[in-house]
Each structure stands twice: as C-alpha cells, then as structure tokens.
C-alpha cells in the first residue's frame, strides 16, 4: 500500500496526479461560452461575428473590384476584428477556446500572405486563391461565435 503523506497527496505518484488533473480539465463543463463573470454585461457575440464577416467581405470586395492598394489596410482591419473575437473567447471552456485559437491562427497566417501579395498583384485570381483559406478560417470563427451567442440566449 502506498502511504499518503505530504509528498504524495491522494497517495498517487506525481505522474498519476498530473494525468488526473488533465482528464479533469478536459471533462470539466465549459463556461457555456458566456465569456463573462459575475455581473459583467454579456459579450455581444452576434455583433462580433457580424463585424468579422463585414471585415472579411470588405477584403473580398476590394480584391474583386481590383482595388489591390486597399487590401493591406483592410487586412489590418480584419485582423483587429479577429482580435476582438479572441478577446470574446477568453472566458470559454478549454476545448472551445482551443478551436477558436486554431481558426484564428489560420486566418491570421492567410491574412499576412494576402496583405503581402496584394500591392504587387495584378491577378485577382491569385489573391482570391490566397484568400480562400482565410475565408474557411473566418467561417470557423463565425460558427464558434454563433454557438456562443446561442448558448448565452435566455431560454424562451
């Protein structure tokens, strides 16, 4: 029998305690996507989602209209909206937050590529191809924000 003492709480070796802690974190209920604590006002997930969508649409429309000189500043604006989405996700459960972080990282990587290529590009098809993965990542971000908005809706 393993004796419990100050060096072995619960009578388990350190590796077993660490494994239990990791499992407990993964199985713990999430915050329901509220992103708030105490009496803080709820985060307007629908508004953040709409702002991310508008910023992405602005980049896409600039590419479609051939306004390549506007694309870098619009990419910066999209990045700022993604920062707002990241802030909104800070209070989420670990799994939802990690999904958001992966989508945000993909979007930001693609934004850098589009922003760097746009000023010298003469081919809208090239920019559309570079923007496509950004669009996929933005859709993931929007989907996660929509789920959070739905989770915070009061029952009707």
Higher pLDDT, 49 or 153: 49
Which are the contacts of 34, defined by CB distance < 8 A and separation ≥ 6? 42, 43, 91, 148, 151, 152
Highest mean pLDDT among 8-17, 34-43, 74-83, 109-118 belongs to: 74-83
Percent of the chain scoring above 90 in pLDDT:
62
By the 8 A CB rule, do 152 and 46 touch?
A: no
- Average pLDDT estimate for 28-47: 59
> 118, 58 in Cβ contact below 8 A?
no
Q: Is the pLDDT of residue 8 over 90?
A: no
Beta strands in 100-147, from DSSP E residues, in sequence order: none
pLDDT of residue 144: 97
C-alpha–C-alpha distance, residues 135 and 60, integer Å: 9
pLDDT at 35: 45
Yes or no: say if 72 and 119 are a contact pair by the CB < 8 Å rule.
Answer: yes
Bridge partners, 20 (sequence order): none
pTM over 0.85: no
Using DSSP, state whether 93 is helix, strand or coil.
Answer: coil
Residue 27 has pLDDT above 70, yes or no: no
The whole-number pLDDT of residue 106 equals 97
Q: Which CATH number fits domain 42-149: 1.50.10.10, 1.20.120.660, 3.30.110.70, 1.10.3130.10?
A: 1.20.120.660
Is residue 26 scored above 50 in pLDDT? Answer: no
Percent of the chain residues topping a pLDDT of 70: 72
pLDDT over 50 at 29, yes or no: no
pLDDT at 14: 67
Could you tell me the residue ranges of all domains in the chain?
42-149
In angstroms, what is the C-alpha Rg of the chain? 21
Backbone angles phi, psi at 41, to 5 degrees: -65, 150
Q: Is 96 in contact with 130 (CB distance < 8 Å)? A: no
| Dist. CA 51–CA 140, nearest whole Å | 14
């Amino acid at each position: 029998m393993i004796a419990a003492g100050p060096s072995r709480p619960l009578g388990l070796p350190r590796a077993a305690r660490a494994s239990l802690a990791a499992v407990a974190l993964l199985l713990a209920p999430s915050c329901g996507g509220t992103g708030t604590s105490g009496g803080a006002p709820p985060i307007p997930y629908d508004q953040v989602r709409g702002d991310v969508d508008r910023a992405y649409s602005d980049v896409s429309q600039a590419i479609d209209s051939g306004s390549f000189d506007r694309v870098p500043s619009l990419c910066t604006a999209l990045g700022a909206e993604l920062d707002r989405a990241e802030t909104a996700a800070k209070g989420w459960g670990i799994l939802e937050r990690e999904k958001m972080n992966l989508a945000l990282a993909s979007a930001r990587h693609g934004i850098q590529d589009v922003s760097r290529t746009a000023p010298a590009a003469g081919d809208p098809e090239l920019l559309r191809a570079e923007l496509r993965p950004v669009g996929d990542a933005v859709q993931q971000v929007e989907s996660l924000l929509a789920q959070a908005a739905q989770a915070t809706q009061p029952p009707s």
